[in-house]
Amino acid sequence: MSETKKFMYLNRKAPYGTIYAWESLEVVLIGAAFEQDVSLAFLDDGVFQLTKGQDTKGIGMKNFSPTYAALGDYEVTKIYVEKESLEERGLTIDDLQHLVWEDEDEDWAEKDSIRLVSRSELADVLAEQDVLFNF
């Protein structure tokens, strides 16, 4: 029985312009099978990954944004979004997908996955982690 570690995936790049966003998602989904305590952070241009209404038909690339809504099913329920990064980009939480998970301990009550945090609050969350993955 190995000890559970706190894994955090930091997402700091916009989707589609580079492969980082998609690669991160793939690694998160693979990593979810290892039953670690996983959380995701979206900051800097990474906040653009979560915008709703993405439609990639015109650029001939796979639209991977619906996959974020499946993270709750993989028990990835802690998604930190940095407030300052949104504000700098003229975005609000309403521009992002509404991501939820179902809590089996509370009769499958639907709960929000996204936690809006300030940069200093995010720093505290980072300090608690055992392993950080950067994309």
Partner 1 sequence: MAMLHLVNKSPFDGCNLNTAATVMKGGDELLLIEDGVYGAMKNSKGAALLDGLKVSVLGPDLAARGIPEDRLVDGATVVDYAGFVDLVEANDKVQSWL
Toward partner 1, which CB reaches closer, 14 or 126?
14
> At closest approach, how far in Å is the CB of 42 from partner 1?
14
> At closest approach, how far in Å is the CB of 64 from partner 1?
11
Toward partner 1, which CB reaches closer, 54 or 67?
54
Toward partner 1, which CB reaches closer, 77 or 97?
97
* Distance separating alpha carbons of residues 9 and 80, to the nearest angstrom: 10
* CA nearest neighbour of 43 among 112, 116, 113: 116
Task: Tell me the one-letter amino acid at 105.
Answer: D
Binding site for partner 1 (CB under 8 A): 13-18, 44-45, 48, 51-59, 61, 63, 65, 88-90, 95
* Distance separating alpha carbons of residues 8 and 130, to the nearest angstrom: 8
* Distance separating alpha carbons of residues 41 and 10, to the nearest angstrom: 5
Toward partner 1, which CB reaches closer, 3 or 55?
55
Secondary structure of the chain: what % helix, strand, coil (to 5)?
Answer: 40, 25, 35
* Distance separating alpha carbons of residues 7 and 13, to the nearest angstrom: 19
> At closest approach, how far in Å is the CB of 109 from partner 1?
28
